[in-house]
């Protein structure tokens, strides 16, 4: 039995699950049209489990309004909902520009072992790698700069799929305005997800820890990423995924499999223009937020 299931027999939620949910619940000032009273935004490197957590929040908490699919942070939302949940993975690179200025915004960052991130593929396109270690490093560096912020939370994918109900309790403790309606371990019982979400999760099913070390099934891809990013072993130790470098022995004699990548200059220019656009959007976001309804 998964941790936390005994607290939620059937579809009922016991007092233990909702404990402390009103703690720190402060009255919010009126917010302009296009901004929720409270918005929970999920971010992280692609293939890290952001879609899984998004679907869990949609399905397992009361009063959640959400878009049909991904929604960037700076995109206006319809109306002025009480509680809005959204996700856009790469917003981890820009959320710092508005988190201090928007007291109604909570940011959740999902992190996964970068080796599994780089080796992950959609079942619908098994020949395509969606993300790589470079993207993971960018996201992780951005997240580290937000550590300690009262409205920023880190969720480890491996913990989410091993102990989903424990993660749910941690989220409620940090975001006490969330009221559970079902445990995360049974999120899939709430009904179908969008076509894109089901594709991203490789199907709607119960949390499955079998993919935690999926990278071991694709060592050529991991070998290529290690050669491209020699500092990866140190970063894995820093992130708590390894205690030493002995795992590198698995790559002895493995021929690296390199994915097609845009030229380095093109990637650098793309990041530069993305930062400029994000800064402009952040200023507009905060300017619009200061308007009072």
CATH number (domain holding residue 146): 3.40.50.300
| 136 has pLDDT over 60 | yes
19 inside domain:
no
How far apart are alpha carbons 199 and 123 in whole angstroms? 8
What is the count of structural domains for the chain? 1
Backbone angles phi, psi at 109, to 5 degrees: -110, 125
Exposed, middle or buried: residue 137 (CB in 10 Å: 0-12, 13-18, 19+)? middle
In tens, the pLDDT along 7-23 reads 332 323 222 223 333 33
Backbone angles phi, psi at 108, to 5 degrees: -120, 125
Return the bridge partners of 110, or none.
155
13 inside domain:
no
Q: pLDDT at position 29, please?
A: 64
| 134 has pLDDT over 60 | yes
Exposed, middle or buried: residue 264 (CB in 10 Å: 0-12, 13-18, 19+)? exposed
Q: pLDDT at position 15, please?
A: 28
At residue 124 the predicted structure's pLDDT band, cuts being 50, 70 and 90, is: low
| 192 has pLDDT over 80 | no
Mean residue pLDDT of the chain comes to: 85
37 inside domain:
yes
Lowest pLDDT segment from 150-154, 193-197, 255-259: 193-197
Q: pLDDT at position 6, please?
A: 33
8 inside domain:
no
In tens, the pLDDT along 202-220 reads 677 788 898 899 899 999 9
């Amino acid at each position: 039995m998964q941790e936390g299931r005994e607290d939620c027999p059937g579809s009922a939620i016991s007092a233990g699950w909702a404990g402390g949910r009103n703690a720190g619940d402060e009255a919010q000032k009126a917010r302009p049209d296009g901004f929720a009273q409270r918005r929970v935004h999920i971010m992280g490197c692609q293939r890290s489990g952001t879609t899984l957590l998004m679907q869990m929040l949609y399905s397992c908490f009361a009063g959640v309004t959400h878009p049909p699919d991904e929604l960037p942070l700076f995109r206006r939302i319809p109306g002025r909902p009480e509680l809005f949940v959204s996700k856009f993975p790469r917003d981890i690179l820009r959320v710092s520009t508005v988190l201090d200025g928007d007291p109604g915004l909570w940011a959740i960052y999902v992190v996964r072992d970068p080796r599994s991130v780089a080796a992950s593929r959609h079942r619908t396109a098994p020949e395509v790698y969606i993300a790589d270690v470079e993207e993971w490093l960018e996201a992780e560096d951005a997240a580290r700069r937000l550590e300690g912020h009262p409205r920023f939370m880190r969720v480890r994918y491996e913990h989410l799929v091993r102990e989903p109900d424990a993660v749910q309790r941690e989220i409620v403790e940090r975001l006490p305005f969330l009221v559970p309606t079902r445990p995360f371990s049974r999120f899939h019982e709430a009904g179908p997800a969008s076509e894109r979400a089901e594709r991203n999760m490789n199907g709607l099913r119960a949390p499955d820890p079998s993919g935690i070390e999926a990278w071991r099934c694709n060592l050529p891809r991991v070998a290529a990423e290690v050669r491209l990013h020699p500092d990866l072993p140190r970063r894995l130790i820093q992130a708590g995924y390894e205690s030493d470098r002995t795992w590198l022995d698995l790559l002895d004699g493995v021929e690296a499999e390199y994915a097609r990548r845009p030229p380095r200059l093109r990637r650098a220019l793309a990041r530069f223009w993305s930062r400029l656009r994000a800064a402009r959007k952040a200023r507009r976001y905060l300017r619009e937020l200061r308007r009072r309804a």
